[in-house]
Amino acid sequence: LLPRAEIAAKAIANSYAVLCSDLKEAMQFSNSYAPEHLILATDQWESICDYIVNAGSVFLGHLTPESAGDYASGTNHTLPTSSYAKAYSGVSVDSFVKKITFQHINKEGIRNLGPAVEILASLEGLQAHKNAVTVRLKDSRE
């Protein structure tokens, strides 16, 4: 028995089942739905892992309950809900790592990238961005 049986009953009353013809079709639906938790309680889970694109956390096989991921298996339960798994991942160490990108362009690089940057900057109406490249292109030819 569940101590919160009344809450569970309401959740079940508001749930639904989706019947699919096979596991591949089920993964297509799942990717569209982008669940917070995807539990593949099937012996064939290995055959469909490559089809999983959108899910907060995936639980593979009959012996892998969601609660293991919440508390003990190394993942966590701070996951994207409401189909946000289409765009976001669960919170991980990576969420707290500051990242800085560095760029260095040499003469050959500015000659290769410059024209595309000029076009894109012009299309966006950012003349100063275009000019920053135009000046450097001129300097790279001297």
**φ/ψ of residue 100, rounded to 5:** -125, 135
Is 6 considered catalytic here? no
In sign, the C-alpha dihedral spanning 4, 6, 10, 16 is positive
The catalytic residue among 25, 36, 77, 142 is 36
How many CB atoms are closer than 10 A to CB 87?
9
**Mind listing the pLDDT tens digit for each residue in 45-59?**
999 999 999 999 999
pLDDT of residue 63: 94
| Mean pLDDT of all residues in 82-101 | 87
For tokens 């595309």, what's the residue?
116
Is 62 considered catalytic here? no
- Asked if 61 and 74 touch (Cβ cutoff 8 Å), the reply is no
Could you tell me what percent of the chain has a pLDDT over 70? 100
How many CB atoms are closer than 10 A to CB 93?
6
- Quote the CATH superfamily of domain 5-93: Nitrogenase molybdenum iron protein domain (3.40.50.1980)
The catalytic residue among 25, 37, 104, 108 is 37
Q: List, by residue range, all CATH 3.40.50.1980 domains of the chain.
A: 5-93
CA atoms of 69 and 64, how far apart (whole Å) = 8
Question: What single-letter DSSP state applies at residue 21?
Answer: S
On the question of pLDDT at 76 being above 80, the answer is: no
What are the angstrom distances between the C-alpha of 61 and each of 34, 106, 111, 120?
Answer: 19, 52, 53, 49
